[in-house]
Amino acid sequence: MNENLNMQFDEISLLISQAKENSILAVNVELISLYWKIGEQVHLKVESSEWGKSIVSSLSEFIQQKEPGIRGFSSQNIWRMKQFYETYKDSPKLSALLRELSWTNNLLIISKTKSIQEKEFYIKLTIQERYSSRELERQLDSALFERMLLSDKKLSAVLREVHPKAEETFRDSYMLDFLSLPVIHSEKDLRKAIVGNLKQFIIEFGKDFSFVGEEYRLQVGSKDFFVDLLFFHRELQCLVAIDLKITDFQPEYLGKMEFYLEALDNIVKKSHEKPSVGIILCKNKDSKVVQYALNRSMSPTLIAKYETILFDKSLLERKLDEFFQLEQDLEN
């Protein structure tokens, strides 16, 4: 089969794949809309004291007799539909987004979050990153919402200027518990573990990251230099160099990264791409040291830290409550 014919066949195959994906999405929209309407009806009947638990059990049995073989209408699930409706009935801007999530993901968010703000955060993140239920559950269990609110993100001024979306793209810290690293590990151990768990790493960093290479070689003059990890970010349309450090951030790390970015932009970057971004991923960092280092930096760089052990979510929730209380006290 010639190459031209292959390309034509690929185009038709792509149309079929897109149609399948669109049909799955359409079915999901209808299903979530149905659950919303049922939840609303049950809510109204219970609120008016017309229905109780026994009536809902009877409804479940009636549906299963009327529609044999249909699944998802146990009495327990019908009560979940009621909870689903009650959770979002006063949040019209969120209720419009719920149909973009699977029922499993909707239930995960309802059961594992507290405030409507937290629910909104995970709804939008799940849509943006197209999380599976397993991926979403991991982010919920790692207390991403609390970590984001308590973060002290430091980006260079140049990074904010060159890539306005950087603020929402990158994080202050990343949870790498899936690497199963020992407490004492080397930078090589860290790099190899990341490459060996690349799928989970990209899920943690964001699905717009595409892996380019490990120890990516840059030849400048007669010398070779190696970037620990090199990625391409589809949304930002730029290369992203990651320098791994198993120690606290030191100001001299920034000079090395600036050199890498200059070399990447001159040697590797394509003409249509935007300036490369650098991430110095450290075991820890002092906020003031980072701020001083970035104030004079002329490169689009950020400093982030990594964690290898999951936080105690209840501890983060308490810290967040203290943070909100402090804000309230300052306002009063």
Place 332 in a pLDDT band, splitting at 50, 70 and 90. low
Q: What are the pLDDT digits (tens) for 97-149?
A: 999 999 999 999 999 998 899 999 999 999 989 999 999 999 998 888 888 87
Q: What is the pLDDT of residue 84?
A: 96
Whether 319 maps to a domain, the answer reads no
Q: What would the mean pLDDT of 157-172 be, rounded to a whole number?
A: 88
Q: pLDDT (tens digit, 9 = 90+) per residue, 192-215?
A: 999 999 999 999 999 999 999 999
Residues 112 and 234 in one domain: no
- Is the pLDDT reported for residue 246 higher than 80? yes
Token pair 């249909």 in the structure block, residue? 70
Domain boundary among 120, 147, 174: 147
When pLDDT is averaged across residues 152-178 and rounded to a whole number, the result is: 86
Per-residue model confidence as pLDDT tens digits over 68-99: 777 888 989 999 999 999 999 999 889 889 99
pTM here is 0.75
pLDDT score of 51 = 80
Residue 326 domain flag: no
Say if residue 165 is in the same domain as residue 304: yes
Rounded average pLDDT over 275-280: 96
Please give the helix or strand (H or E) that residue 282 lies within, else none: strand 277-282
Q: Which DSSP string corresponds to 140-188?
A: HHTTHHHHHHH---EE-HHHHHH-TTHHHH--SEEE-GGG---SS--HH
Residue span of the structural domain in which 196 resides: 152-311
Determine the Cα–Cα distance for residues 193 and 190; give it in Å rounded to an integer.
5
Q: What is the CA angle 110-111-113, rounded to 5?
A: 70
Q: Is residue 128 part of a domain?
A: yes
Query: Is the pLDDT score of 325 beyond 70?
Result: no
Measured distance CA(143)–CA(311) in Å, rounded: 7
pLDDT, residue 157, reads 84
Burial 11-41 (b: 16+ CB within 10 A, else e): eeeeeeeeeeeeeeeeeeeeebeebbebbbb
156 and 142 in a single domain? The answer is: no
Domain count, the chain: 2
Asked whether residue 228 falls in the same domain as residue 298, the answer is: yes
